[in-house]
């Protein structure tokens, strides 16, 4: 028996697959992560792929037979013109989608994750000079949506409140450590502005955080902190 589905989706990955036009991995609004094949007919495949690449968001119709999804139609909802503006821009999209693919399982729809992706694509389109910074803001929010929110208000170990002016971030423990608990010196010392940036990232929209006046050196240190934190969570 065939079941039909209609949903919005971002394409996370595409690879050639047997006699089919391609095997896609999507993050969909109503079904979470889904694997779906495009038909083998060359004509249909090329018509579909114009709407499936790159990335999305796409309005997608799927048919399921047993455990298989096949794409019956695809229509691009929005075109992001700045996506190809530079290698950096394209990398920001591609890397972020790869992280989602790596860190999610098939199924498990999450509206917060889908909305975050929409917000991120729009922000990348509108803040063309801020790709690196936006990517880090997005990754921290993504980790938080996926259940890996760092503790930024009290010591992860003894639960004592940490100060507002500086902090020590422990990648191993997943958040701030007070000076009493930080015995081995393995954490990273953060200044006040970076502490604020980290906290605001979890509190405000991507737009608002991108608009914050923050020195370049602080943004670079923030990106480094987020990247290391992600590596620990994905290890």
Give contact residues for Zn ion (rule: CB under 5 A).
155, 157-158, 178, 181
Query: Does an H or E element contain 113, and which?
Result: helix 111-126
Pick the closer one to Zn ion by CB: 151 or 200: 151
User: Per-residue b/e over 71-106, b at no fewer than 16 CB within 10 Å?
Assistant: bbebebeeebeebeeeeebbebbeebbebbeebbee
Pick the closer one to Zn ion by CB: 64 or 199: 199
Nearest distance in Å: CB 99, Zn ion: 30
Query: Does an H or E element contain 154, and which?
Result: none
Nearest distance in Å: CB 170, Zn ion: 10
Pick the closer one to Zn ion by CB: 113 or 178: 178
- Structure-token match 């639960």, residue found: 159
Query: Does an H or E element contain 46, and which?
Result: helix 42-52
Pick the closer one to Zn ion by CB: 56 or 175: 175
Nearest distance in Å: CB 178, Zn ion: 3
Nearest distance in Å: CB 169, Zn ion: 13
Pick the closer one to Zn ion by CB: 105 or 184: 184
Rounded CA separation 20/162 (Å): 55
For the chain, count helices (H), then strands (E): 7, 8
With contact defined as beta carbons under 8 Å apart, do 124 and 147 qualify? no
Structure tokens at 71: 């794409």
Nearest distance in Å: CB 172, Zn ion: 14
């Amino acid at each position: 028996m065939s079941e039909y589905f209609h949903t919005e989706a971002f394409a996370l990955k595409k690879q050639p697959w047997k006699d089919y036009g391609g095997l896609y991995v999507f993050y969909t609004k109503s079904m979470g992560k889904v694997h779906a094949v495009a038909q083998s007919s060359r004509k249909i495949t090329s018509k579909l792929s114009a709407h499936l690449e790159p990335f999305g968001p796409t309005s997608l119709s799927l048919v399921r037979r047993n455990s298989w999804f096949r794409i019956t139609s695809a229509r691009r909802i929005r075109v992001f013109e700045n996506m190809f503006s530079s290698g950096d821009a394209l990398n920001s999209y591609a890397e972020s989608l790869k992280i989602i693919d790596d860190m999610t399982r098939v199924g498990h729809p999450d509206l917060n994750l889908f909305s975050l992706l929409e917000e991120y694509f729009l922000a990348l389109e509108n803040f063309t000079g801020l790709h690196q910074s936006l990517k880090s803001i997005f990754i921290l929010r993504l980790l938080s949506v996926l259940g890996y929110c760092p503790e930024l208000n009290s010591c992860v170990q003894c639960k004592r409140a940490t100060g507002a002016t500086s902090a020590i971030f422990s990648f191993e423990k997943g958040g701030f450590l007070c000076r009493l608990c930080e015995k081995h010196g393995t954490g990273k010392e953060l200044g006040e502005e970076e502490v604020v940036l980290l906290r605001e990232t979890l509190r405000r929209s991507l737009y608002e955080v991108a608009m914050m006046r923050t020195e370049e050196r602080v943004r670079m240190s923030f990106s480094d902190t987020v990247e290391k934190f992600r590596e620990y969570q994905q290890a």
